[in-house]
């Protein structure tokens, strides 16, 4: 598992590659020429084009624009682009900070999202450069190719990719909906990314069009266009539930870093039988932080019980869970609140499977288990999820009476199965997953894995067989 990605690490990586860029493009000429031809086929010559992550500018130049602007995080790539294609404008800047007072006919993003720290912020900034007819052409690497990429890099057959995300097309579809974008067209490329006569032709012309087989392609692409902006504001407030067990070194930062959301943000810290200084820390903070509540009880009864106690005390329209260990940055909570406040969906689930995790944030066995349970729960719910055990979730308080508890000890599956049972639309939001600052995870791979497997069996039974009148937990949400 690699260190978590940052702008600085990505910039260093591509600065180091800049002088060998031509070497790698010659070595993998078929791969790069295919992508260049694909983009050039879509862009009408003489258009205005913004190439984000332009590298040394070959793709931008190939589109023959009347106005071409390239932007890249790597200063050394930009220097080479200016030398090679002086007829176009090249800017050294992160896309999230790009300042331009113009819009474009096309925006090109080849492998840019693979190296973006915050996908939502990228599209938030790009909206400034779009008109209603702008088309965004983007490609990303297929996450299923990760083992192949690693092997090719080790034997020197492929350019090192460096710190990068692993983005499924399903994740992008949900982000586009949040960012007021629609997919005009999508597909796969380069089922076989090396040139071998006949084989490459058949694989990359026919194979990429055969359902199932095409999902093994190296590249996934989308053509995206802006839609009418969703200006809905339901005027909702938010209750952030922070269950904690002996988190005295983390709880203050967890509380202080919760941003203000909507009409009102209340924070409810639930001491699940804490025996350290957690409770006193919260009491001290109550003197200065408005709308901070404390619930305490003994003995320790587990996260699921603590979350339910927090829900019972909540007064706002949106309920949200934040783990006290700050493994998910509280600053990312507004991305959970926004789609609910706009009425886009009824449940938001965090996923840690897009951005690279900080080293040791999740043990390898736990990572495998998370992916496995993602497939199992998706099958049961008939909605696609990539991370069922992310502690950060949000939904409407009015849906509490329609939830049933008792599937698993943390409450994650209870909430997901309950949302699916009532027909809620579930969206996933990518979150960064950090190593906890202090303390250790309470998750035990094998023992808790067996427990979660039994929870899936129980959840399947509840989803299919239990009559509606017997399903719901009795809540008082007056």
In the chain, where the domains are located: 7-226, 238-470
Per DSSP, helices labelled H in 18-90 are 21-27, 29-42, 58-62, 75-84
Give residue 454's pLDDT: 80
CA distances from 308 to 145, 274, 388, 474 (A): 40, 17, 18, 12
Closest CA to 385 of 409, 350, 356: 350
Task: Give yes or no for residue 347 having a pLDDT over 80.
Answer: yes
Asked if domains 7-226 and 238-470 share a fold, the reply is no
Q: 320 by DSSP, 3-state: which?
A: strand
Q: 349 by DSSP, 3-state: which?
A: strand
CA distance 244 to 139: 41
Q: What's the pLDDT band for 476 if we cut at 50, 70, 90?
A: very low
Task: Give yes or no for residue 439 having a pLDDT over 60.
Answer: no
The predicted model gives 419-447 an average pLDDT of: 75
Task: Give yes or no for residue 443 having a pLDDT over 60.
Answer: no
Judge whether 233 and 264 are in contact, CB under 8 Å.
no
CA distance 295 to 303: 13
Per DSSP, helices labelled H in 127-246 are 146-154, 169-178, 199-205
- Maximum CA pair distance of the chain? 74
CA distance 167 to 463: 29
CA distance 1 to 26: 30
Q: What sign does the CA torsion over 13, 16, 22, 27 have?
A: negative
CA distance 379 to 386: 11
Give residue 405's pLDDT: 77
Give residue 248's pLDDT: 94
For 248-274, how does the pLDDT look when each residue is reduced to its tens digit (9 = 90+)?
999 999 999 999 999 999 999 999 999
Closest CA to 316 of 237, 377, 261: 237
For 370-393, how does the pLDDT look when each residue is reduced to its tens digit (9 = 90+)?
778 888 888 888 888 889 889 899
Task: Give yes or no for residue 477 having a pLDDT over 90.
Answer: no
For 192-208, how does the pLDDT look when each residue is reduced to its tens digit (9 = 90+)?
999 999 999 999 999 99
Mean pLDDT comparison of 21-25, 104-108, 440-444, highest-scoring range: 104-108
Task: Give yes or no for residue 62 having a pLDDT over 60.
Answer: yes
470 or 114, higher pLDDT: 114
Give residue 444's pLDDT: 54
Q: Which helix (H) or strand (E) holds 454?
A: helix 445-464
Task: Give yes or no for residue 1 having a pLDDT over 50.
Answer: no
Place of tokens 């031809």: 37
For 90-112, how does the pLDDT look when each residue is reduced to its tens digit (9 = 90+)?
999 999 999 999 999 999 999 99
Q: What is the CA radius of gyration of the chain?
A: 24
Q: Cis omega before residue 129 (within 30°)? A: no
Task: Give yes or no for residue 14 having a pLDDT over 70.
Answer: yes
* Homologous superfamily of the 7-226 domain (CATH): Vaccinia Virus protein VP39 (3.40.50.150)
Give residue 468's pLDDT: 55
% pLDDT > 90, the chain:
66
Give residue 465's pLDDT: 64
Give residue 287's pLDDT: 94
CA distance 18 to 54: 12
Choosing among 1.25.40.10, 1.20.1260.10, 3.40.50.9100, 3.90.550.10, the CATH entry for 238-470 is 3.90.550.10
CA distance 69 to 362: 40
Mean pLDDT of the residues in the chain: 89
Give residue 461's pLDDT: 74
Angle 119-126/169-178 helices, nearest 10 degrees?
A: 50
């Amino acid at each position: 598992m690699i260190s978590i990605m940052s702008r600085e690490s990505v910039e260093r990586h591509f600065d180091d590659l800049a002088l060998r860029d031509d070497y790698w493009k010659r070595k993998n000429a078929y791969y790069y020429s295919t992508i260049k031809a694909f983009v050039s086929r879509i862009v009408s010559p003489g258009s205005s084009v913004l190439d984000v992550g332009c590298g040394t500018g070959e793709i931008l130049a190939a589109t023959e624009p009347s106005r071409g602007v390239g932007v890249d995080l790597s200063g050394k790539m930009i220097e080479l682009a200016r030398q090679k294609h002086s007829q176009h404008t090249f800017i050294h800047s992160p896309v999230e900070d790009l300042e331009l007072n113009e819009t474009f006919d096309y925006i090109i993003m080849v492998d840019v999202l693979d190296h973006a720290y915050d996908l939502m912020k990228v599209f938030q900034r790009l909206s400034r450069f779009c008109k209603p007819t702008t088309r965004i052409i983007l490609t990303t690497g297929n996450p299923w190719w990760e083992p192949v990429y690693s092997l090719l890099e080790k034997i020197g057959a492929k350019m090192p990719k460096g710190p990068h995300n692993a983005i499924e097309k399903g994740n992008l579809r949900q982000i586009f909906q949040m960012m007021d974008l629609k997919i005009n067209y999508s597909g796969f490329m380069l089922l076989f990314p090396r040139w071998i006569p006949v084989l490459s032709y058949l694989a990359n012309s026919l194979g990429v069009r055969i359902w199932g087989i095409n999902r093994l392609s190296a590249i996934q692409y989308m053509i995206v266009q802006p839609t009418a902006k969703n200006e809905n504001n339901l005027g909702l407030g938010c209750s952030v539930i922070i269950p904690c067990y002996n988190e005295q070194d983390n709880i203050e930062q967890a509380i202080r870093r919760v941003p203000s959301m909507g009409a009102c943000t209340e924070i409810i810290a639930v001491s699940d039988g804490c025996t350290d200084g957690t409770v006193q820390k919260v009491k001290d903070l109550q003197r200065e932080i408005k709308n901070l509540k404390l619930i305490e009880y003994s003995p320790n009864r587990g996260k699921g019980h603590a979350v339910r106690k927090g829900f019972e005390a909540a007064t706002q329209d949106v309920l949200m869970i934040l783990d006290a260990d700050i493994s998910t940055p509280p600053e990312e909570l507004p991305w959970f609140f926004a789609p609910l406040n706009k009425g886009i969906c009824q449940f938001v689930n965090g996923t840690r499977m897009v951005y690279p995790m900080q080293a040791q944030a999740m043990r390898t066995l736990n990572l495998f288990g998370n992916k496995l349970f993602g497939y199992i729960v998706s099958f049961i719910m008939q909605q696609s999820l990539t991370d069922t055990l992310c502690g950060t979730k949000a939904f409407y308080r009015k849906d509490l009476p329609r939830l049933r508890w008792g599937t698993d000890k943390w409450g994650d599956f209870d909430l997901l199965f309950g949302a699916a049972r009532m027909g809620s639309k579930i969206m996933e939001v990518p979150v960064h997953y950090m190593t906890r600052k202090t303390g250790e995870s309470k998750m035990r791979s094998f023992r808790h894995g067996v427990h979660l497997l039994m929870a899936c069996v129980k959840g399947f039974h509840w989803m299919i067989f239990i009559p509606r009148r017997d399903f719901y937990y009795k809540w008082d949400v007056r």
